[in-house]
Amino acid sequence: MAEVNLKNLTKKYGDVVAVQDMNLKIPHNEFLVLVGPSGCGKSTTLRMIAGLEEISGGEIYIGDELVNNKDPKDRNISMVFQNYALYPHMTVEQNLGFSLKIAKVNPSEIEEKVTEAVAILGLEDLRKRKPSQLSGGQRQRVAMGRAIVRRPDAFLFDEPLSNLDAKLRTQMRTEIKKLHQKLKTTVIYVTHDQVEAMTLADRIIIMREGFIEQIGSPIEVFNNPVNVFVATFIGSPPMNVIECEVVNENNNLFIKIDKDMLMPCPPSKKDKLKKSPKVYVGIRAEDIVPSENSTDAEKKGWNFEKSIDLAEPLGTETQLFFKLNDKDVISRMYNPRVIEVGEKIKFEVDLEKIHLFDHETEKAI
Amino acid sequence: MKFKFLKSPIMLIMPAIIAISIVVIIPLIFSFYTSFTSYKLTRPDSLFNFVGLRNYERIFSNSEWWWTYLRTILFLTIALNVELLLGLGIALLINKITWGQRTLRTIMMFPMMFSPILVGFQWKYIFNDNIGLLNNFLYLFGYESAIAWLIDQKLAMGSILAAEIWANTAIFSILLLAGLMGIPKDPIEAARVDGCSSWQVFKHITLPFLMPFIFIALTIRSLDVGRAYDIVHIMTGGGPAMRTELTWTTIARIGYKDANMGMANAMSYLSIILSIAFTYYFFTKLKASRQELGQ
């Protein structure tokens, strides 16, 4: 039961910087997700917290204690690994009780805690099995069980679901969430899957090349991405980002979103756009609404018409692909019907829902 | 057709049968047969002098042979244990090294590249009581009375063991290092997070993973040490007073010096039982350790 505090945490491999000056306070009981593309430093950060990786600079506190020079065994954390990392020569219950045995907990208490963990994770019938006799999902569950028997100060998860198939992944995701609600412990969870990040996190940290790009609740980072990278990383399908010229016609600012197609600048952003000749326009797929069913009176936003390059029906929705400024753009059509390739469709965009990013810095305007 | 049997499956396995017959079966049957004769190398006609179990009866009532047999078991046990421990230690150390590991691995294998005969000669001169390096070295430290390493009946066996261990520990190191390198990192890291000290990680995780490799190494080496002849022959010639004779030096003496091949072959079969016993024991252990790992 403790908060985790990182101060100027840095990791270098020779000249390569893996994590740069990371400052982060993770309050007790928070579910924090570190997300980013591979090589962004998220796993390294986790492994530094665990003590499996030496740190090159900065400080790590677990509770009030500085743990920089402490062995993993003295940090009272537990970790779930991507490849489960079960002990193949031990049965499920031996795997679960191993850390307690090492801590010289008396056998009756170990038995009690193992029984409890087995019950939480639904592994009752598998207690005497060895890891090689378990399925992927069961192994993952044992790995989690091994982490929870100890009641550590913090749980560290290193891409725990990436080796499972899609269906099992969704199921285990829910179980992890439930587990966190039940155990009320600090969780630091690393993933490259933004869906996992969105669904599990109290707070998301998006990392790139060793730096934190944005910290916020899932809704915050989804609605207000600070830059193009976050905007395209969070959300599925990724946000459409189109490079556009800014055009001034009769003192009215327009964004040239396609050949011969001018979109009025959102009123709230007019001042900021005046000086920039170019801008990145970000529009989420669900904000480009096919407007064929709505009457003119219902249309609030800006309208345009495009012919469709490709339609991918997904059941609840159909994703429509077309090009704006030679860039593939996706629109989500709910209540889908059969779409012919080349068919012209009218779309509507609520101008206040579009995101604008500076052309130089790629930061949100 | 005349050679109808040639069309049968027998013809297809004929080449293998012929090859195995020449290499294994015929020598085996021949030597087994001679162990029931009074065959002497110097008198080829004695090959047909069938004596039944007489050779075996004599061996069983020969206490000197059984001492040799026991000595061989002791020699095997000590050599294998010491080589295993040293080899494991070296492998663990080398496994920790990241820079220059390949070079060290090569250097480590140097003793294996020398002929056992030459290793025997070298150690014979190291242990020589007058001009040997060891006694001269001890002399420097004020130990003035020369120790008769190869002549004293208790020290001689130890000296041979030292040479044997020096020459062959590297085999254990190489095999165990291969095992160590094959151990997945994850369970070890998991154990460290689970609260294990380095020693506990070794005991609970590394060692079980290494067990199959240990038993493979022990099997190979038990066959190797079990047939030790050259190093003993060079260093002591079995002396003093046959106190360093092992089964195969005895067999060689009886077979070639005394030319009593029938007896020697009978002894050989008893020696082979020893090797089979060791191999069987280690293979059983190997199987168990693999099952333990779920392999």
Q: Which residue of A has its CA nearest to B206?
A: A87
Query: Given this model, what pLDDT does residue B1 score?
Result: 52
In a domain, B74, yes or no: yes
- Residue A261 has a pLDDT of 85
Q: Count CB pairs under 8 A between chains A and B.
A: 73
Take residue A72 and report the two structure tokens written for it: 């993993």
C-alpha dihedral (A46, A48, A51, A56), degrees to nearest 10: 180
Residue A241 · residue A234 · CB < 8 Å:
no
* pTM score above 0.95: no
- Nearest CA among A235, A224, A237, A176 for reference residue A354: A224
Q: For residue A90, what pLDDT is reported?
A: 93
The reply to whether B23 falls in a domain is no
Q: What residue numbers bound the domain in which B225 lies?
A: 37-292
B195 vs A81, A84, A103: nearest CB: A103
| Domain-embedded: residue B77 | yes
C-alpha span between A34 and A56 (Å, rounded): 20
CB contact under 8 A, A73 and B204: no
Residue B262 within a domain: yes
In a domain, B7, yes or no: no
Task: Flag whether B29 is in a domain.
Answer: no
- Which token pair is A155? 């749980």
Q: Which residues have a Cβ under 8 Å from the Cβ of A270 and sit 6 or more positions away?
A: A253
Go through the domains of chain A in sequence order and give each one's CATH number: 4-233 (3.40.50.300), 240-358 (2.40.50.140)
pLDDT computed for residue A305 by the predictor: 87
The answer to whether the Cβ–Cβ distance between B294 and A77 falls below 8 Å is: no
Q: What's the pLDDT score for residue A218?
A: 93
Residues of chain A scoring pLDDT < 50: none
How many Å separate Cα A149 from the centre of its chain? 27
What does the pLDDT read at residue B94? 92
The answer for residues whose C-beta is within 8 angstroms of residue B3's C-beta and 6 or more apart is none
Residue-level pLDDT at A89: 92
pLDDT in tens, chain B (295 residues): 556 666 678 888 889 999 999 999 999 999 999 999 988 888 888 888 888 888 999 999 988 899 999 999 999 999 999 999 999 999 999 998 888 888 988 888 888 888 889 999 999 999 888 888 888 888 888 877 778 888 888 888 999 999 999 999 999 999 999 999 999 999 999 999 998 999 999 999 999 999 999 999 999 999 989 888 888 999 888 878 788 889 899 999 998 888 888 999 999 999 999 899 999 999 999 999 998 888 7
Identify the contact set of chain B against chain A, taking CB-CB distances under 8 A.
184, 186-187, 189-197, 200, 204-205, 208-209, 292-295
Produce one character per residue of B233-246: b if its CB has 16 or more CB atoms within 10 Å, e if not: bbbbebeeebbbbb
Pick the residue from chain A with its C-alpha nearest to B195: A73
Residue B168 included in any domain: yes
**Distance from the A158 Cα atom to the nearest Cα atom in chain B, whole angstroms:** 11
From the CA of A286, how many Å to the nearest CA of chain B?
42
Asked, for residue B6, whether it belongs to a domain, the answer is no
C-alpha distances out from residue A42 to A207, A226, B92, Å: 7, 19, 31
Structure confidence at residue B191 (pLDDT) = 93
- Whether A73 and B292 lie within 8 Å, measured CB to CB: no
Interface test with A, best of B183, B194, B197, B207 (most A CBs within 10 A): B194
Closest-CA distance, B195 to chain A, in angstroms, reads 4
Residue A55, both tokens: 């740190």
CATH of the domain at B135: 1.10.3720.10
User: What is the predicted pLDDT for the residue at B108?
Assistant: 87
Domains in chain B: how many in total?
Answer: 1
List, in sequence order, the alpha helices (H) in chain A. 42-50, 92-102, 107-121, 136-148, 166-183, 194-200, 218-223, 228-233, 270-273
Q: How far apart are CA B245 and CA B236, in angstroms?
A: 9
Calculate the CA A187 to chain-centre distance. Answer: 14
Please give the ipTM for the structure prediction.
Answer: 0.81
Q: From start to end of chain B, where are the E strands?
A: none
Q: Do A86 and B184 count as a contact with CB atoms less than 8 A apart?
A: no
Closest Cβ–Cβ partner in A51, A79, A89 for B208: A89
